[in-house]
Chain A
Amino acid sequence: MNAGATGREVVLRVYRGDANGGEEVAYTVPVETGMVVLDAIHWIQAHRAPDLAVRWNCKAAKCGSCSAEVNGKPALMCKSRLDHFPEGQPITVRPMKTFPIVRDLVTDVKWNYEINKRIAPFQPRANAEWRWQQSDIDRVQEFRKCIECFLCQDVCHVLRSHELKHQFAGPRFLVRIAGLEMHPIDGADRVPFLKDTAGIGLCNITKCCTEVCPEGITITDNAIIPLKERVVDRYYDPVQRVWRAITGAKDGT
């Protein structure tokens, strides 16, 4: 018997299926101390269903691979402790609902990579001095904590419920753009892109992305809203437009 065995058992209701449909299958799993949902899934793979499809890598909440919906909430399976769920009740594990299913818990997230390619890369300003203070980058370093688990994309109702992938880039990429736009010496202008391509106006700041972020990035308040304000500077602030017309100044200063 394992050192961490607790003698308890938990029932996992795991979605098994593919694009043609599927259903939840119940598995009873022995519980070890500190066990997470991903451990339970691995136990099922090793003992009950060797072909149970799941995507995972580090099992330490650092790579963002094992995204799924646990009891209906988008979460990393490696961070979902079994003892944080009500005892004696089954735990449902389903694939993310925003992306097309491949099989079981695996979804096709390649759309995200397609969007990422469209974002103008880092471009240092000409003659920039490569010196800045820690206080200049604290803000951006928060955005760069993103592990690309795509849980924010999964929970975002614009993508999930309204299916507007043709109009909206989703929170992940607004965070990425924020990281580039607020880089102390980046010189590229992504404001028109934000408005016309990334569709930042479609975000109605209801903050589900912030709620599910496993890295604790304050996506809405620190990334999206500041970017919305930059779009306002450029397009919706008549006084600034007049000021720019008179002085020839750029915004953001």
Chain B
Amino acid sequence: MEKFEAHEHDVIVIGAGGAGLRAAIEASAMGCSVGLVCKSLLGKAHTVMAEGGIAAALAHVDPQDGWQTHFQDTMKGGSFLNHWRMAQIHAQEAPDRVRELEQCGALFDRTPDGRILQRAFGGHTWKRLAHVGDRTGLEMIRTLQDRGVHQGLDVYMECTITRLFTDGGRIAGALAYWRETGRFVVFRCKAVVIVTGGVGKAYRVTSNSWEYTGDGQALAYDVGAELIDMEFLQFHPTGMVWPPGVMGLLVTEGVRGEGGILRNAQGERFMWKYLPEARRHEYAADEAEARRWLDAVVEGRQTDARRPPELSTRDNVARAIYTEVKEGRGTPHGGASLDISYMPAERVKKKLPSMYHQFMELADVDITQTPMEVGPTTHYMMGGIRVDPDTGAATVPGLFAAGEASAGLHGANRLGGNSLSDLVVFGRRAGAGAASYARALAATPHIADDAIEAETRDVLAPFERTSGESPYGVHQALQECMDTFVGIFRVAGDLERALGTLETLKQRARDVRIEGSRMYNPGWHLARDLRNMLTVSEAITRAALLRTESRGAHSRLDHPGLDPALGRVNMCVTKDGEAMKVAPTPLPEMPAELKALFDAGAAGTAAAPAAAAPATAAAGKAS
């Protein structure tokens, strides 16, 4: 057996985005020895891509806001498929987590009275997103990164975990390899926190980077953890559609928050057509009211005008754009036009600097002069590892998860801004949960040598083969399959075809051959990631097939309506021998006092924007 490096920690955190860093900081603060393992360099995780802001009911700009409203918005946005307790914890703790970031040195944009400024976002009743221009995620990750490094985390950068090991059903450690050298590392630990993010790279048009290959979900699935809600994959409504090299690249929802208007090729402001009847009263009735709302935002004052229809929830806007394009009203490159050019150029550059540069440099488009072309792009996985809301514990002892890799908070659809708050709220809780678990465990569980050896042989197998295709071809075929058959709109026939294709792809992935050495070999890395992408792709497809209704981000053309019975279950994916099993499991019942919020709120929410009319002293004026 080849020599390998070994490290022992109480807690191993896999992933160094916002949730991973927050989890590691918490576990370390509780006295645990923490190893933070990430596939990229530290500080490059996908959190840096988060632009719009972090949702927290601080009530600095709209004093009417409170955790109850945030909770209601989250539940409604998720079509009530959310775990009520997660949504509650999230809404209650997010403000503290934001203040905590500030206390670690983050510098959010300010209100005139010197507090954290908040902006409007889709699906949020009030202006709720604390932000730093359009680079909130970068600010957050840098703040947490510096905090973590100074707190005593051991960081293993550019290190890929290939498998988790268990000992008598408990987590015992993991095998990894250094991307740089290809050498193996064994981590022995009591608890593992999975914070590996999403699965976007299974799709061709995606806002996700290469890292988002569903590693965490697949690692957890392999050791027997339950995955839920995998059918709910969020397509962000506004990704770039041109030029081809940047297709899918995110255009922040902040553009719409700052007044961006969606039009089709005929110049029609189409979003009004697509507002769900139940929530139409929350949006402006006409152009004039939308404009009044915007003017109030620009001037930083209160208004009784309701928000523009472009700020509908993401699933809805994505479907609207998709439909407009499909029905022949798309822009030349197959998108919708998103126009912010009617706003003063200086404001656009100040509020959306990254967007301005992104379009200027990559698409030769000056967004202060011409509209952008945008279309839906695979963005976020609502589903993932089933966790306990309070501790982040997965269904395998010693396994914890948070952030995008976990499931429950967002239900059928995530609101913009709720992911950054998810990271810090549940990152912290998972870190604490793992630390408590690890401290309660007397000795580190044992990893069998032959398990390690079997895994290393498996990982190195592609080098041994004398024939076989390159993994890039398989990856491309997988992306084509998922884009075509498991996209925004789904039908049973497509999903079944996808399952068939996935079976052949799994075989092709098993037979890939890698040339060259183990030193920084991207082909080899992709071969490992492929296995995970195939697992999650199958989970998405199987769960989508079983959910015979349209809810949130999951739209079935053959089942266009809501099915109340399916609104009470999560689709749960588990490993059954070598086969994948999917079955509905009951959704936890919301307690009466929270239910009451909605009974009272049904009237209350409708009336709320009108009640906001009197300007309040705390809201200040200009921004």
Task: Tell yes or no: B459 within 8 A of A by CB.
Answer: no
Task: Tell yes or no: B127 within 8 A of A by CB.
Answer: no
Once the chains are docked, how many angstroms separate the CA of A103 from the CA of B522? Answer: 11
Closest 8 CB pairs of A and B: A34-B243, A122-B105, A51-B516, A50-B523, A131-B114, A4-B244, A53-B520, A46-B472
Once the chains are docked, how many angstroms separate the CA of A102 from the CA of B521? Answer: 11
Q: Which residues of A contact B250 (CB under 8 A)?
A: 60
Contacting A at CB under 8 A, from B35-65, are 40-44, 46, 48-49
| Chain B residue, CB-CB nearest to A60 | B249
Closest Cβ–Cβ distance, residue A3 to chain B (whole Å): 6
Q: Which residues of B contact A59 (CB under 8 A)?
A: 209, 245-246, 249
Q: Which residues of B contact A28 (CB under 8 A)?
A: none
Task: Tell yes or no: B138 within 8 A of A by CB.
Answer: yes
Q: Which residues of A contact B523 (CB under 8 A)?
A: 45, 50-51
Stretch at the interface among B143-151, B394-402, B554-562: B143-151
Closest Cβ–Cβ distance, residue B345 to chain A (whole Å): 17
| Chain A residue, CB-CB nearest to B139 | A144
Once the chains are docked, how many angstroms separate the CA of A103 from the CA of B182? Answer: 12
Query: Do the beta carbons of A117 and B149 come within 8 Å of each other?
Result: yes
Once the chains are docked, how many angstroms separate the CA of A122 from the CA of B133? Answer: 21
Once the chains are docked, how many angstroms separate the CA of A121 from the CA of B363? Answer: 39
Once the chains are docked, how many angstroms separate the CA of A145 from the CA of B38? Answer: 22
Q: Which of A18, A116, A180 contacts B519 (CB 8 A)?
A: A18
* Chain A 204-232 per-residue mask, 1 if CB under 8 angstroms from chain B, else 0: 00000000000010000000000000000
Stretch at the interface among A86-94, A133-141, A195-203, A233-241: A133-141
- Given A50-B515, A145-B138, is A4 in contact with B243 using a C-beta cutoff of 8 Å? yes
Q: Which residues of B contact A103 (CB under 8 A)?
A: 519-520
Query: Do the beta carbons of B358 and A60 come within 8 Å of each other?
Result: yes
Say which size band chain A's interface belongs to: 35 or more
Q: Which residues of B contact A183 (CB under 8 A)?
A: 105, 107
Task: Tell yes or no: B242 within 8 A of A by CB.
Answer: yes
Task: Tell yes or no: A124 within 8 A of B by CB.
Answer: yes
Query: Do the beta carbons of B472 and A34 come within 8 Å of each other?
Result: no
Once the chains are docked, how many angstroms separate the CA of A50 from the CA of B522? Answer: 7
Residues of chain A whose beta carbon lies under 8 Å from any beta carbon of chain B: 2-4, 18, 32-36, 39, 45-47, 50-65, 79, 81, 102-104, 106, 108-110, 113, 116-117, 121-122, 124, 130-134, 137, 140-141, 144-148, 180, 183, 186, 216
Query: Do the beta carbons of B521 and A133 come within 8 Å of each other?
Result: no
Once the chains are docked, how many angstroms separate the CA of A137 from the CA of B114? Answer: 11
Once the chains are docked, how many angstroms separate the CA of A109 from the CA of B40? Answer: 12
Q: Which of B99, B142, B354, B361 contacts A81 (CB 8 A)?
A: B361
| Chain B residue, CB-CB nearest to A135 | B110
Query: Do the beta carbons of A58 and B49 come within 8 Å of each other?
Result: yes
- Given A34-B244, A36-B362, is A63 in contact with B44 using a C-beta cutoff of 8 Å? yes
Query: Do the beta carbons of B150 and A65 come within 8 Å of each other?
Result: no
Task: Tell yes or no: B10 within 8 A of A by CB.
Answer: no
- Given A34-B242, A59-B209, A141-B132, is A108 in contact with B514 using a C-beta cutoff of 8 Å? no
Closest Cβ–Cβ distance, residue A226 to chain B (whole Å): 17
Q: Which residues of A contact B515 (CB under 8 A)?
A: 50-51
Query: Do the beta carbons of A130 and B132 come within 8 Å of each other?
Result: no
Once the chains are docked, how many angstroms separate the CA of A122 from the CA of B110? Answer: 19
Q: Which residues of A contact B49 (CB under 8 A)?
A: 58, 60, 62-63
Q: Which residues of A contact B113 (CB under 8 A)?
A: 131
Closest Cβ–Cβ distance, residue B374 to chain A (whole Å): 14
* Chain B 97-134 per-residue mask, 1 if CB under 8 angstroms from chain A, else 0: 00100111101011011110100000000000000110
* Chain B 178-208 per-residue mask, 1 if CB under 8 angstroms from chain A, else 0: 0010000000000000000000000000000
Task: Tell yes or no: B343 within 8 A of A by CB.
Answer: no
Q: Which of B48, B104, B112, B522 contacts A51 (CB 8 A)?
A: B522
Besides A59-B246, A63-B40, 6 new A-B residue pairs in contact (Cβ under 8 A), listed by A number: A45-B522, A46-B473, A57-B44, A58-B49, A106-B180, A130-B99
Once the chains are docked, how many angstroms separate the CA of A147 from the CA of B354? Answer: 12
Q: Which residues of A contact B522 (CB under 8 A)?
A: 45, 50-54
- Given A50-B471, A50-B515, is A58 in contact with B48 using a C-beta cutoff of 8 Å? yes
Query: Do the beta carbons of A56 and B210 come within 8 Å of each other?
Result: yes
Task: Tell yes or no: B135 within 8 A of A by CB.
Answer: yes
Once the chains are docked, how many angstroms separate the CA of A3 from the CA of B243? Answer: 9
Query: Do the beta carbons of A61 and B150 come within 8 Å of each other?
Result: no
Q: Which residues of A contact B180 (CB under 8 A)?
A: 102, 106, 108
Q: Which of A55, A57, A144 contacts B132 (CB 8 A)?
A: A144
Query: Do the beta carbons of A61 and B245 come within 8 Å of each other?
Result: no
Closest Cβ–Cβ distance, residue A33 to chain B (whole Å): 5
Contacting A at CB under 8 A, from B208-244, are 209-211, 242-244
Query: Do the beta carbons of A106 and B147 come within 8 Å of each other?
Result: no
Query: Do the beta carbons of A50 and B48 come within 8 Å of each other?
Result: no
Once the chains are docked, how many angstroms separate the CA of A32 from the CA of B333? Answer: 14
List 6 A-B pairs, Cβ < 8 Å: A34-B243, A46-B470, A57-B40, A133-B112, A144-B132, A144-B142
Closest Cβ–Cβ distance, residue A10 to chain B (whole Å): 13
| Chain A residue, CB-CB nearest to B516 | A51
Query: Do the beta carbons of A55 and B41 come within 8 Å of each other?
Result: yes
Q: Which of B48, B109, B470, B476 contacts A62 (CB 8 A)?
A: B48
Once the chains are docked, how many angstroms separate the CA of A121 from the CA of B145? Answer: 11
Closest Cβ–Cβ distance, residue B474 to chain A (whole Å): 11
